Amino acid sequence: MTAIRVALLAALAALIAVPWWVPGDYYVSVASQILIYAIFALGVDVLIGYAGLVSLGHAGLFGLASYTVAAALAGGSGQFGAILLALAVALAGTAVFAALSLRATGIGFIMITLALGQIMWGLAYRWVDLTNGDNGINVASRPMPFGLDLEVATNFYFAVLVVFLLALLAAWIFVHSPFGASLAGTRDQPRRMTALGFHVWLIRFFACMFSGLLTAVAGILFVYYTKFISPPSLQLTSSAEVVLMVISGGSGTLLGPVVGAALVVIVKNVASAYIERWNMLLGAIFVAIVLFMPEGLVPGAPRIWRAVLRWLRANPAAAKGAAE
């Protein structure tokens, strides 16, 4: 246990020190982006990993929060009011989303969330009066909490880091609470949980609401990060990307989505510099992960590491060859 704690403390220190060890403001921004997506992925992981519900429509909720901030600011609202309004609207949206999609579980849940997500995208694209259609909405300025100028990349990073740590803490408390245990119960044995007197539907509903809250927070940070929101952020690809983060990192762990977010954001930023076909790579990664590492990086890496060690021990000649 202590080794893990030391590693986590080291990771925390590395996160705090990011502005000093990365080579420039651009990379500080990439780090902010990773943390924002990590919050989003944590929200989706609450459903995938702990409730056993895969949502392919979460980009719709993410976008709902982003659009609300942008539209409220464009309508002349203050920063604080816009953020509160976005949280309220996104949570109301999540409630509708959950009420509809929880009519089913398993495949049905996936299909309904996918359809709902596409409807959100369609609204963003078509409801031009409100969303400005394909042109999107610009956000003029970031808020200035406690007089801190968030236009500076480093300051923005620290603000995101604080929110991220709070979100991680909230997710940790949520997962380790008795409620989290009953949520895992509804994932593994819904019928027995019903027989034990738990209200399975309501437990899942609250899990959706918590997931929606994290998603909304990520959406609000995202719109301030890019200072712009447009329909592509709500596409199926975006929902799929965040699911990929959760699965590649390891669903059902809190560290997995964070690692997955880092992996996807880095691959995307690096890959898009060299090749145009990011989507093809994304698809190939999906297929490869499902076939070779279905449990994800965080739980899977030790297994593969052990397998490599075992193979090396069984084949000393190969090990020697590798060493040379």
Binding residues for another protein, rule: CB under 8 A, are 48, 54, 56, 100, 103-104, 106-108, 110-112, 114-116, 118-119, 121-123, 126-129, 235-237, 240, 243-244, 247, 277, 279-280, 282-287, 289-291, 294
Q: How far apart are CA 275 and CA 261, in angstroms?
A: 20
User: Cβ 303 to another protein, closest distance in Å?
Assistant: 17
The smaller minimum CB distance to another protein, of residues 168 and 234, is found at 234
The smaller minimum CB distance to another protein, of residues 81 and 294, is found at 294
Q: Are 222 and 137 in contact (CB under 8 A)?
A: no
User: Cβ 39 to another protein, closest distance in Å?
Assistant: 22
User: Cβ 292 to another protein, closest distance in Å?
Assistant: 11
**Which parts of the chain are beta strand (E)?**
137-138, 228-229
User: Cβ 242 to another protein, closest distance in Å?
Assistant: 12
Length of the chain: 324
CB neighbour class for 178 (10 Å; exposed up to 12, middle 13-18, buried from 19)? exposed
Q: How far apart are CA 254 and CA 310, in angstroms?
A: 28
The smaller minimum CB distance to another protein, of residues 29 and 118, is found at 118
- For the chain, what is the radius of gyration of the CA atoms? 21
The smaller minimum CB distance to another protein, of residues 90 and 150, is found at 90
The smaller minimum CB distance to another protein, of residues 280 and 307, is found at 280
| DSSP for 39-80, written as a single string | HHHHHHHIIIIII----S-HHHHHHHHHHHHHHHHHTT--HH
User: Cβ 110 to another protein, closest distance in Å?
Assistant: 6
